[in-house]
Amino acid sequence: MREKPLLSLLLVTPALLLIVAFFVYPLGFSLHSAVTDDSGQLTLAHLNKSFELYSQDILFSLLIVLLSVALIALLSLTIAGLITLSPYQRLVSILGLLYRMPLFIPFIVAAQMMRTFLAKNGLMNNSFVASGLLEPLDTVSFLGWSGIVFTFVWKQLAFATLLVSGAMAALDRSQIQAARNLGAGRPRILLEIIIPQILPSLGVALILSTVAIMSVLSVPLMIGTGTPTMLTADMAFRINSYGDYGVANALGLISYSITAVLAWFYLRQGLANGGKPA
Amino acid sequence: MMNSQTLSVPTRRLRLPLNIRYSFWFQSLMLLVLALLIFGPMVNLLLWTVAESWYFPHKLPVEWGFKYWQQVFSPHSDAVGSLLTSIGIALLTVLLCVMVSVPAGYALARRSLPLRALIMLLFLLPQAFPNLAVYMNVARIFYDFGLNGTIVGVVLVHTVHGLMFSVWITVAAFSSVDPTLERAARNLGAGPIRTFMTVSLPQAMPGILASCIFVFLESLDEFTGTFFVGAPEITTLPLLLYTASMEGNYQIASITALILLVPSVLFMLIVDRFMRPEMLSKIGH
């Protein structure tokens, strides 16, 4: 067929315009206003102020991300590993259905569930008390850092496990069989044969989870206790209470930087997959 | 450590070694814990939707009833209004996404384009950056154009977020269309537009519909962008949920959450057949 590159470009233009006007431009705008003052001069004032006021929250966000991502990695590898290697087909099919339950549950719904579930008088503590594991007076509220991590892991685990077990399912079964015939146990097959081959998928899952954790506003607002809180909540506060775009965007710049190293990996992965014609 | 060699022996069902039975109970226990952790919060939410009063130290609601359901579904309640707003915004978002991503998806899948990889990457951007910091600047830019607090503004924000799904899935859908059929249609004298409408588009339709469902759900559930661009004039269901929850009105918040949950769970059950991990590993290829 004859190709008219101009026509192809024309077909893509509307979608491109949308993404450039309503994402790339505001992104540039945010980077620009993080490092310039009102007169457009380069300044580090906003960044300095951010570190001065919010260094505790920056550290808090970083720890939440690292802890959540580590738990997501551990649990998704365990679940996907069980699905791939477990000999009990019935357990595997229940597990496969179970882990996917939270996949499409919105963050805000998850946040509302956890707000009541993890509270001092929530269903979790009540169950512990009813089963005799805890005395009513010993219960503590899990709202706070542990609740935030719990919510993020609860919600993101489904997605991460889906990607990881997808990668595991695509592996060549004969390798696993060969290792088994040579006498390797399941944990060893998982650690030495399966995991090294699915690392790129795990990486993508963890990066997307990091981006989600750094973007979600509802969870820290609804589960957090106020101080320290996550950068997302600080940015919203800076805008809504002070209209202070300089500091808010400087915080944005910091949260980009936290994800940037990871996002770079993600984009490179995307390039490897999507860069070639399908 | 499990003795896995015994597993490849065909007679393993007859005489299970002791350690294998242990591993069965251990795996069952893990499954049970996972089930409790996943369903616990959901059950708690359901309890709150029918709890008329529930306070310390009662482990279960003191009074049960549907009082708050009536409140939520009374014709002039905020909830019905925001449900309609949410659905309207989601439908407009789907429409806009489809309108721009069908031509884009076709061009990216079928035609040679300069900088194709770069263009594909651009559509990934909204998922690769923490988008809250971008939304607050979108709100600032929209302010100058009077788009803040308007349906158009919210639809634009949701569209940009949904484009990643619609463009990438549409590209995959058009890529799977058999090019020889298109060529055959052209050879039989059909024009390019007719070929597209009667040969390429119908074959890509399942993928396009799937992307529509994704975009619809993403828009329905979107909170952060609406929070910055739409509030307080536009109240979607997630914003209503948030306000009710922060006011301590857990019944209204839980019922709203349940309404949001229904399409999500329905969708999960519908796509369960298509969302097999083995299928997912093909997306983007």
Give chain B positions within 8 Å (CB) of A131. Answer: none
Give start-end residues of each CATH 1.10.3720.10 domain in chain B: 76-280
ipTM: 0.81
Residues ≥6 apart with Cβ < 8 Å to B210: B169, B173, B271, B274
| Count of CA atoms in the C-beta half-sphere (13 A) of B228 | 32
Residues ≥6 apart with Cβ < 8 Å to A100: A158, A161, A162, B268, B272, B275
pTM for this one? Answer: 0.84
> Touching check for B3 and chain A: CB below 8 Å?
yes
pLDDT value at residue A269: 60
Task: Band the pLDDT of B285: cuts 50, 70, 90.
Answer: very low
Distance separating alpha carbons of residues A122 and A231, to the nearest angstrom: 27
> Could you tell me if residue A77 is inside a domain?
yes
> Could you tell me if residue A183 is inside a domain?
yes
- Min mean pLDDT across A40-44, A262-266, B190-194 is at A262-266
| Average pLDDT value for chain B | 82
Give chain B positions within 8 Å (CB) of A82. Answer: 27, 30
> Could you tell me if residue A25 is inside a domain?
no
> Touching check for A107 and chain B: CB below 8 Å?
yes
A277 pLDDT above the threshold of 50:
no
pLDDT value at residue B19: 62
What average pLDDT does this structure show over B57-78?
76
B128 vs A35: which has the higher pLDDT: A35
- For chain A, the three-class secondary structure string (H helix, E strand, C coil) is CCCCHHHHHHHHHHHHHHHHHHHHHHHHHHHHHHHECCCCCECCHHHHHHHHHHHHHHHHHHHHHHHHHHHHHHHHHHHHHHHHHCCCHHHHHHHHHHHCHHHHCCHHHHHHHHHHHCCCCCHHHHHHHHCCCCCHHHCCCCCCHHHHHHHHHHHHHHHHHHHHHHHHHCCCHHHHHHHHHCCCCHHHHHHHHHHHHHHHHHHHHHHHHHHHHHHCCHHHHHHCCCCCCCHHHHHHHHHHHHCCHHHHHHHHHHHHHHHHHHHHHHHHHHHHHHCCCC
What confidence tens digit (pLDDT) does each residue in A46-80 have?
Answer: 888 888 888 889 899 989 999 999 999 999 999 99
A101: CATH: 1.10.3720.10
What confidence tens digit (pLDDT) does each residue in B20-44 have?
Answer: 667 888 888 888 999 999 998 998 8
Provide the shortest C-alpha distance from residue A222 to chain B (in Å). Answer: 7
> Could you tell me if residue A18 is inside a domain?
no
Cβ proximity of A141 and A217 under 8 Å = no
| Count of CA atoms in the C-beta half-sphere (13 A) of A85 | 26
Q: Phi and psi of B203, rounded to 5°?
A: -70, -30
- The dihedral built from the CA positions of residue A198, A200, A204 and A207, taken in this order, carries a sign that is positive
Cβ proximity of A34 and A47 under 8 Å = yes
Print the domain residue range for A254.
Answer: 43-272
> Touching check for B131 and chain A: CB below 8 Å?
yes
The total number of structural domains that make up chain A: 1
What confidence tens digit (pLDDT) does each residue in B194-215 have?
Answer: 888 888 888 888 888 888 988 9
> Could you tell me if residue A161 is inside a domain?
yes
CATH entry, B76-280, from 1.10.1740.10, 1.10.3720.10, 2.40.50.100, 3.40.50.10710: 1.10.3720.10
> Could you tell me if residue A24 is inside a domain?
no
Give chain B positions within 8 Å (CB) of A143. Answer: none
Distance separating alpha carbons of residues A266 and A222, to the nearest angstrom: 29
**Closest by Cα among B260, B86, B68, B126 to A111:** B260
Provide the shortest C-alpha distance from residue B284 to chain A (in Å). Answer: 6
What average pLDDT does this structure show over B250-273?
82
> Touching check for A178 and chain B: CB below 8 Å?
no
What confidence tens digit (pLDDT) does each residue in A229-266 have?
Answer: 888 898 988 888 888 888 899 999 998 888 887 667 66
